[in-house]
Amino acid sequence: MITKEQVADAYKQIQDEICAGLELADGKGKFEEELWTREGGGGGRTRIIQNGNVLEKGGVNFSAVEGKLPDNIKKAFGVNEDDFFATGVSIVIHPNNPWVPIIHMNIRYFEMISGEKELRWFGGGIDLTPHYVIDEDAQFFHKSLKTTCDRFKNDFYPRFKKWADDYFFIKHRNETRGIGGIFYDRLNPESTGLSWDEIFEFSKGVGRTFLPMYTELIARNREKSFTPQQKEWQFQRRSRYVEFNLVYDAGTKFGLETNGRIESILMSLPPQANWVYDFKPQPGTEEEKTLALLKKGIDWI
């Protein structure tokens, strides 16, 4: 049976691998690390990269926290026990170039064990938020995720893709945050038919899908030129990302409600985002095309 220490150690290694790979891909930016401790138990390693050749702002964070759950979280989880442990890696990257997409990844493990009572699960996912949807890139992205999922169970990709479409949905805008990806939560042997070791391997597999897939998307788009108007569009698309994270994102809510470190929780926000009143794209433009593709249920493959 896997232990929480094994999961945390594996996640630390994945954080190290991704940071090294992103620095290499960027060619200029370097991650700055801040070690922190949480009042109540545990801590983490916040790593932020800023003002690089490609990466305007990005965070690759690891945390392993423990302690007592607030009453509202216990109610949401349907549990009575207090003591919890949670560990994970969380990534958000905001690039300089509007043709390079925003990306988010999270892999996480949660457990509550009290005497003979036990509650544990894995969660996570990867989703892509292009400022401009490029069909070939969307296909490559989703094929990469499907390949990882298919190594474990054939129903994982369609199941988790739909979950992502439903989860990364901005209800008040009636649009998806981007082109989705995969999202899953509370995975255990009962919900998957896999052993704990196999679910752990899947979690690590998702984590290790991130780097080769995103660096390929960077390589495809980093040298593309863009206009001031396209940069303004990028800022508008970022505003939708902000709206989702502050209104709907479960990880943000969990961090805020468990007295998490605020700088780490809000590292997902971009350095600049703009809100334009009642913006309407010109017919036939790339902006109009992108908005038309921000909906659930698209078969990108």
Domain ranges (residues) in the chain: 4-292
Q: Identify the H or E element spanning 43.
A: strand 42-50
- pLDDT given at position 248: 92
DSSP 245: H
User: What is the Cβ-side half-sphere exposure of residue 243, based on CA atoms within 13 angstroms?
Assistant: 19
Q: Are 121 and 188 in contact (CB under 8 A)?
A: yes
Give pTM, 2 decimals. Answer: 0.93
CA distance 49 to 33: 9
The token duo for 91 is 């990534």
CA 247-253-255 angle, to 5 degrees, is 145
Q: Are 160 and 149 in contact (CB under 8 A)?
A: yes
Count of helices and strands (H, E) across the chain? 10, 9
Q: What is the rounded average pLDDT of the residues 279-294?
A: 95
- pLDDT given at position 115: 58
- pLDDT given at position 33: 96
The active-site residue out of 94, 104, 131, 142 is 104
Per DSSP, the residues of 175-213 read: EESSS-EEEEEEE-HHHHSS-HHHHHHHHHHHHHHHHHH
Q: Are 62 and 24 in contact (CB under 8 A)?
A: no
pLDDT value at 157 more than 80? yes
Q: How far is residue 268 from each of residues 62, 73, 140, measured CA to CA in Å?
A: 14, 22, 24
- pLDDT given at position 107: 98
CA distance 229 to 227: 5
Per DSSP, the residues of 99-120 read: TSPEEEEEEEEEEEEETTEEEE
Place of tokens 């995969």: 182
CA distance 122 to 89: 12
Catalytic (active site) residue 172: no
Q: What is the rounded average pLDDT of the residues 46-68?
A: 94
Q: Are 168 and 180 in contact (CB under 8 A)?
A: yes
Q: Tell me: the pLDDT tens digits for 160-210?
A: 999 999 999 999 999 999 999 999 999 999 999 999 999 999 999 999 999
Q: What is the rounded average pLDDT of the residues 128-132?
A: 98
Residue count of the chain: 301
Query: 4-292, superfamily in CATH?
Result: Coproporphyrinogen III oxidase, aerobic (3.40.1500.10)
Average predicted confidence (pLDDT) for the chain: 93
The token duo for 46 is 């916040």
Q: Are 40 and 28 in contact (CB under 8 A)?
A: no
Q: Tell me: the pLDDT tens digits for 219-275?
A: 999 999 999 999 999 999 999 999 999 999 888 887 788 777 788 788 889 999 999
